Structure 1
Amino acid sequence: MWSYSRQLAFCIPQKIENFSRDLKFKMSLLLDESLKSIEFLFKYVGIYLDRTILNTAEHIIKFRSLYVMNFFWQNTDTIGGMLWIIQGALHGKSLTELTYIAPCSNFCILSNIKSLSLLLNEDKVKQLFKKLRNMENNINIGDDVVKKNIIAEEKKFLRAVLKALNVINAVTLILFSVSSLLFMGLEYKKSGQIELALPFPIIYPFNPFDIKYWPFVYMHQVWSTYLVLTQVAGTDCLFYTCSTSICTQFRLLQKDIETIIPERNFDENEFPEKFKKLAVRHEGIMQSVILMERIYTKSTLINFVTSSFLICLTGFNVTALGNIGSMLAFFAFLLMSLMQIYLLCFYGDMIMTSSMEVSTAMYNSKWYPMNAKTARHLYVVQMRAQKPSKLTAYSYADVNLKAFTKILSTAWSYFALLKTMESPTRA
């Protein structure tokens, strides 16, 4: 009995210590946990986010060849779709026929820009990962329930966003892949003959409806669709993950600032060191936002410019197309486009809001019994925090929810214009 009790007394503290260490580890690695799913998205595209790639022939062939192959694979369809639009406009194709491929070509160009922005800023992406990891690993959570709840809430919301985005992308891919098969089945039921169809009208240097080429062309378009959706989704998921990590750091910083001056047993000699650490953390978080801005600012500008056209054209196709399969595919595409640009603006807005709330946290700290010199330091940080850390579309516009409302407003104006252009042709 005594032996068992002694073993129990030895095991319990050890288990508690292990559990505490495991809890701290799980709480601190928000970035790495989310990167696993994002790396899976990029796996078959040929983008390696967290891998050191040397400028040697061996590494370039090993780690760049898949991306280059997929790039040419995808853009043969992109160029063919744009050529189809030009040829269709010259030969008097209807507005509905022209707008069928237009949003898809638009989205293809956007996916190219987003993926290339990551590759061209590969060093900055690695710097950002390093900064975020260091900040997450250096956070002392301990038994603070508020901090644990903050991290748990942010993780839960991020997981929900990533899952919803993956589901919508999967549904969009499936609907575009099977819509032409559904059309072929309905035509066969009506006429008893098989009329070959493809997901997208694209010009090729051969007849794609020849039975010798049709299966290859069909799979070519399906894989191109997968590449486009994956590149946009992967780049955006990385944006959401880094934004969540930054917002979590801002919220944890707010908690530490509010409690930096205890009600009792305040030691003025210890305060400067504590305050200095918080100021360094604040500067580190703001530097992370600057790195994100450099990585995403140009692709975000293209995203803002194209989103109004994308939402407008996709919404027009949902209302104008008579094929139920195509309507469902474009409806899923519309939801995905709306969700994509909304989340981009939403997370940009979160960064701005959480950065400005540091000023409120400083005001809520018990600064009033402090001496004039210390209060002055607190005031400087408070005033700096009132200038928000923010992401921009290449300084053209701030990335926040106001930008989203402007995009929707512009898209609706374009949509109304298209409907008025469609009416005379139907009449």
Structure 2
Amino acid sequence: MDTEPTLNNLLKKLNSIYFVLGLSYDSVKATRKEKLIQRFIYILNFFWLNSDVLGAVCWFINGVLNGKSFVELTYVAPCVTFSFFANIKAYTLIHYEAFVSELINSLRSLEEIENTRARTKERDEIIGKDVKFLNAVINVSNILNFGLIITFFTSPLILIVVKYLKTNHWDLLLPFLIIYPFDSHDIKYWPFVYLHQLWSESIVVLNICSTDYLLYICCMFIRVQFRLLQYDFKRIMEDNNVLFNNEAFTREFVELVKWHQELIRLSAILEKVYAKSTLFNFVASSILLCLTGFNVMAMEDKTLACTFLVFLSASLLQIFFVCFFGDLLMKSSTDVSYAIYESKWYLANSSAEKNLHIVQTRAQKPCKLTAFGFADVNLRAFMSILSTAWSYFALLKTLYNPNKA
């Protein structure tokens, strides 16, 4: 098996995204000049994006005051929510950059230690299958996120052409409903505004996917380490005859316990970094799924409906993968307990048996991500989000009267 660090290979996929966003997953190694450049790019993107967010909020308020249709108001609401969500995601990495660097460097150290161990087919399969799956998830997410950007970019152009063919009149449209201090539909400004909104959309999508990809990578590599730990615990009695070589057993057992404690510590760091943004993610996802689903149902324009269908798919997949990887982390940590149970502990002497039981009891308390302590991040939480979103959607559908819109 190739012993080149797998973690570094995966992180390289994030380098270009993090550069254009002004973010970093390893700020400790960055020079002062590099940090200044990163901060400059981040601040530039922040004001670029939020100038459009402010305009969208003003449009929404103005729309409410001037009696805009309910469908038009729900058109802009998901986009504003998604943008606030992207701001929080990006700020999370900035605020906790020291913890992120510590987490990444600790995972690198664990991978280096693993590469010094004797290779076996089972160990290679544990690493290979999980890394292959992680690559597939990132590739699928890239396709959907790129499709989301392209869909919002092209749908106004398609509508412009369609309306021109029907009315023989050019009606310049924009991807998003935003108020500017000038006439954004004037041909002198329209191309620049269009490109401005396109990059704002790209910032939103990249902020969310870049922070999520780092979460997926960390969850998967901690999971891999937990599974390798399980492999060693299962075979600890086979490798050491405790009755005749208690010293060798104790030495290996201590190493496994230190390994387990390190994984618990890294899981706690990951939880600290993502807890607050995950809480907003849970709340925002219910709103996004509800409003976007309503847009798909209520919009008469099929092009716009298809646009929001892609948006709905991206939102659904985003929260699913967050919950899915959180679930993988929880399960792999508690499976250490089962691995110890399968380790032929009954062959050990009383002292070794007691030590194994202590570790087994600790492993029954899962390492997990939470939404700032309000809910665990797992597949059960995903089902709860879907249930909440469906309840909101059903209420909106009941209240919506197209004759009054």
TM above 0.5, yes or no, is yes
Residue pair 1:53, 1:59 contacting (<8 A) in 2 also: no
- Return the letter of the residue paired with 2:310: A
Q: AA paired with 2:219?
A: S
Equivalent in the alignment of 1:373: 351
Aligned to 2:36: 61
Matched, 1:102 2:71: no
- 1:31, 1:242 within 8 Å by CA — same for their partners in 2? no
Percent identity of the aligned residues?
43
Task: Name the structure 2 match of 1:18.
Answer: none
Alignment map for 1:394-409 (pairs within 5 Å): 394-409=372-387
* Cα contact 2:21–2:42 (8 A) shared by 1: yes
| Gap runs ≥5 in structure 2 | none
Contact residue 24 and residue 93 of structure 2 kept, 8 A: no
Partner residue of 1:25?
3
8 Å Cα contact 2:275-2:369 kept in structure 1:
yes
Shift of residue 357 of structure 1?
0.3
Q: Secondary structure at the match of 1:261?
A: helix
Give the letter for the 2:11 counterpart: L
Letter of the structure 1 residue corresponding to residue 204 of structure 2 = V
The CA distance in 1 between the partners of 2:299 and 2:101, in whole Å, is: 45
CA distance in 2, matches of 1:88, 1:118: 34
Distance in 1 of aligned mates of 2:224 and 2:284:
30
Match of 2:94 in 1: 119
Contact persistence 1:141–1:147 (CA under 8 A): no
CA distance in 1, matches of 2:14, 2:134: 12
TM superposition shift of 1:83: 1.2
Match of 1:144 in 2: 120
Residue 141 of structure 1, CA deviation? 4.7
CA contact (8 A) 2:19 2:38 kept: no
How far is the alpha carbon of 1:73 from its aligned partner? Answer: 0.3
- Of residues 252, 264, 282, the one that matches 2:228 is 252
CA distance in 1, matches of 2:388, 2:25: 35
Pick the aligned partner of 1:343 from 281, 298, 321. 321
Is residue 2:135 matched to residue 1:175?
Answer: no
Question: What 5-or-longer segments of structure 1 have no aligned partner?
Answer: 1-22
**What is aligned with 1:91?**
66
AA in 1 matched with 2:72: E
Change (3 A) 1:83 1:53: farther
Match of 1:234 in 2: 210
Deviations 1:25-75 (A, max 9, x none): 23xx2321111112222221111322447796x555322111111110000
TM-superposed deviation, 1:355: 0.3
2-structure distance, mates of 1:240, 1:365: 30
- Choose 266-275 or 255-264, whichever is displaced more: 255-264
TM-score in terms of structure 2 length: 0.96
Q: 1:149 to 1:114 in 2, by over 3 A?
A: same
2:391 paired residue number = 413
Aligned to 1:186: 162
Cα deviation for residue 120 of structure 1 reads 0.6
The letter for the 2-side match of 1:62 is: I
Q: 1:293 aligns with which of 260, 271, 290?
A: 271
Residue 308 of structure 2 is matched in structure 1 by: 330
SS in structure 2 opposite 1:206?
Answer: coil
1:52 & 1:264 partners in 2: Cα distance? Answer: 41
For 2:37, the aligned partner's letter is K
Paired residue type of 2:127? I
Q: Which runs of 4+ in 1 moved over 3 A?
A: 51-56, 58-61, 263-266, 424-427
Residue 3 of structure 1 corresponds to none
The equivalent position to 1:306 in structure 2, one of 261, 278, 284, is 284
Q: 2:238 aligns with which of 245, 249, 262?
A: 262
Deviates more, 1:299-308 or 1:39-48: 39-48
For 1:370 and 1:215, how far apart are their aligned partners in 2? Answer: 75
Residues 27, 35 of structure 2: 8 Å contact kept: no
SS in 1 for 2:353: helix
d(CA) in 1 for partners of 2:113, 2:28:
24
Q: What does residue 389 of structure 1 align with?
A: 367
Q: For 1:79, what is the secondary structure of its paired residue? A: helix
One-letter amino acid of the structure 1 residue matched with residue 390 of structure 2: W
Q: CA deviation at 1:180?
A: 0.5
What is the number of equivalent residue pairs in this alignment?
A: 402
Query: Partners of 2:306 and 2:191 in 1: how far apart?
Result: 23
Cα deviation digits, residues 131-179 of structure 1 (max 9, x gap): 1111111014533111100111101100000000000000010010011
SS at match of 2:184: coil
- Where 1:44 maps in the other structure, the secondary structure is helix
